[in-house]
Structure 1
Amino acid sequence: MARKIQGIDRERYLVLKGLLEERRREIQEKLRSLRESVPAEAADVRDAEEQSVDDFVREVDIALMQMKSETLARIDEAISRLERGTYGRCQECGEEISEARLTAVPFAPLCRGCQEEAESRIRAERATRAFARLQRELASVTLRAGRE
Structure 2
Amino acid sequence: YDFKSVVPEGMEYDAQQAEAFSAVARDMKLSGEQAQKLAAYGMNYAGQIADAVNQQRINEINGWAEESRKELGVDFDHVMQQAASGLEAVEKAVPNIRSVLNYTGAGNRIEMIRMLSFIGELTKEDSFRGFGANSGTVQSSLYGKTNFGLY
Query: Taking structure 1 as the reference length, what is the TM-score of the superposition?
Result: 0.31
Query: Taking structure 2 as the reference length, what is the TM-score of the superposition?
Result: 0.31
Larger radius of gyration: 2
